[in-house]
Chain A
Amino acid sequence: MPAQINRILLLFTAFIGLFLVVRHFLIPETFGQYGHYRGASLDDISSREMVFADKEDCFACHDDIMEILENEMHAGLSCLICHGPGREHVDDPQLGNINKESGREFCGRCHDIHPSRPLDVVNQVDIKTHHTEKTNCIECHNPHALWEGME
């Protein structure tokens, strides 16, 4: 075999061999245990401190809200959208550690009129003119039961 072909083959064999050896030592032990990832990463992730609560955590205590919400416009929303991450409140329920905002600005984040916001998806009002004599949306609208007490 000519010298140059010999050297090329030798170099490529050495490279591929080295790659395989390095690969053997670098792949984590638990890789592929459950799928195409490091199995031990599940333990790493589950050991992290939780910040967010789940809807089911909320309904474990607030089952009354669950019943009201069932057929409501906001039924598809997660509680966290208005009430914040909420884990702290689940672990130690106190009135102060959950978000209960209801001002014009807060509701307006979704419901203020906006030309590029699709009307068929989100009901919109102009918060600058809509019942300006009231300061708080929940004076008329119950966010858990939107049409309650309204025509």
Chain B
Amino acid sequence: MEDHYQHLYEMLSQVEGYIYPNEIELQWGILIVLYPYLTGLVAGAFILASLERVFKIKVLGPTYQLALITALSFLIVAPFTLISHLGQPLRAYEIMITPNGTSAMAIFGFIYLWYLLAVLNLEIWLDYRRDFVIWAKEKKGFMRGVYKVLSLGTSDISPKAVKLDDRLGYIITVIGIPSAFLLHGYVGFIFGSIKANPWWSTVLMPVIFIFSAMVSGIALIMILYMVVSFLRKVKIDMACLDTIAKYLFYMLILDFTLESLDQVHRIYEAEESFDILNVLVNGRLNITLFIFQIFSGMIIPLIGIGAIQLFKVREQVRKIIYLLTGVMVLVGIFFMRWNVVIGGQLFSKGFHGFTNFKLGLVGSEGLFMAIMWMVLPFVILAFLLWLLPPWKKEEAA
């Protein structure tokens, strides 16, 4: 009991003003920040892939498979942040076997499965099926067996069969675009539908989440394409990179406009919650919102990539600008999620006080745990790029 009081008094020392007892300690920490961040990267990467496939922007060809495999790597890890946050991995399946039909979170499990199995896995499989068959013939020993299993025992690589793969893959991508919107819009919906929280409760939340997802996903693929090309010591297709950057620029404008609209609307309405939100953004969220999210995550990249759209810039300089702005955008979107998730829990729902959030280093909700879940997708990506190398496809084609 003594420890319990000790902990309570430590927590109370971080409180300012008048706040309800259940608001003192934040229930959602960095892992819940990471979760919309990871799903956003998935949705964004997939949308970039679909630009090539459905909207026929053929210049993006070199990043098509990379974007799909990246989406898969991040999607596999996304639920682990939730499972490790909840701390009951052995019970995690229960949400799937006895789902509560009126719970947004429970139905999300099925949307996730749909997107993972029926969209991403299928699209990748159909895209690689011909290669699986070829690689199964080329390789020997264990790897031969692996590719044989991956081809699911199909062996027909006649032009007719390959055309059918392509046709099916196209249909799945068409279904996949609304699915990707649904996946990430849903994450926004989970926050936007919490009516007791004025920082979250806005009908624009799903839309903002979708556009910020596209921004972060496109930025990630832009960086990954440069890094993978550098590691493989091949020349970067500048037409492709410039086009990715151009779409990043468009998405940044849309995202910036929407987020501004949300804030302007909030400021103009100036509801009863406005005063506390005003203190929140000018106080506790000051640095993460104005510096990381808006200034370095939005305005600087807009100026950087915008300048390239207007002026002729040397290739080497363009690459450096893309790399820097890409990283800034990724950091900016991370802090956008941070400001939503953490920011929404810092103020009292009675509008009379604040609590504080201290990020621990170790423990199940700590920084190291978050870093682990952030690094794991890249490990999976490296493995998948080794198993399903897009560049070997090109050679075979």
Contacts and interface: CB of A to CB of B under 8 A. Distances in A.
B155 to A, nearest CB: 8
Contacts of B97: 22-23, 26-27
B129 A4 contact: yes
B18 A114 contact: yes
A4 B353 contact: no
Contacts of A117: 18, 352
B131 interface: no
Contact of A27 (B98, B153, B164, B168): B98
Interface string A109-148: 0000011111000000000000000000000000000000
Contact of A2 (B155, B161, B353): B161
Main secondary structure of the interface of A (DSSP, over half): helix
Contacts, number: 49
A116 B168 CA distance: 62
Contact of A36 (B93, B98, B117, B129): B98
Given A36-B100, A116-B17, A116-B353, A26 B122 contact: no
Contacts of B309: none
A115 B18 CA distance: 8
Given A116-B352, A118-B352, A26 B93 contact: yes
A37 B168 CA distance: 41
Interface string B88-99: 000001100110
Nearest to B102: A36
Contacts of B126: 4
B22 to A, nearest CB: 15
B175 interface: no
B352 A4 contact: no
Interface stretch (A5-13, A52-60, A63-71, A92-100): A5-13
A15 B161 CA distance: 25
Contact of B152 (A11, A115, A116): A11
Interface residues of A, number: 20
Interface in B71-119: 93-94, 97-98, 100, 117-118
B165 interface: yes
B156 to A, nearest CB: 6
B161 A4 contact: yes
Contacts of B350: 118
Interface in A1-44: 2-5, 7-8, 11-12, 15, 22-23, 26-27, 31, 36
A15 B126 CA distance: 18
Given A8-B122, A27-B98, A116-B17, A3 B161 contact: yes
Given A27-B97, A117-B352, A118-B352, A4 B18 contact: no
A114 B18 CA distance: 8
Given A11-B152, A116-B18, A118-B352, A4 B168 contact: yes
A22 B94 CA distance: 11
B153 A2 contact: no
A2 B93 CA distance: 35
Interface string B349-390: 010110000000000000000000000000000000000000
Contacts of A7: 152-154
Contacts of A3: 154-156, 161
Contacts of B98: 27, 31, 36
A113 to B, nearest CB: 12
Contacts of B125: 8
B99 to A, nearest CB: 9
B168 A15 contact: no
Contacts of A12: 117-118
**A-B CB proximity, top 4 nearest:** A116-B17, A116-B352, A116-B18, A7-B152
Given A4-B152, A5-B164, A12-B117, 19 more contacts: A2-B161, A2-B164, A3-B154, A4-B129, A4-B154, A4-B156, A4-B165, A4-B168, A7-B154, A15-B117, A22-B97, A26-B93, A31-B98, A36-B100, A114-B18, A116-B18, A116-B352, A117-B18, A118-B350
Interface of A: 2-5, 7-8, 11-12, 15, 22-23, 26-27, 31, 36, 114-118
21 contacts: A2-B164, A3-B154, A3-B155, A4-B126, A4-B154, A4-B156, A8-B122, A12-B117, A22-B97, A23-B97, A26-B93, A26-B94, A26-B97, A36-B98, A114-B17, A114-B18, A115-B17, A116-B18, A116-B353, A118-B18, A118-B352
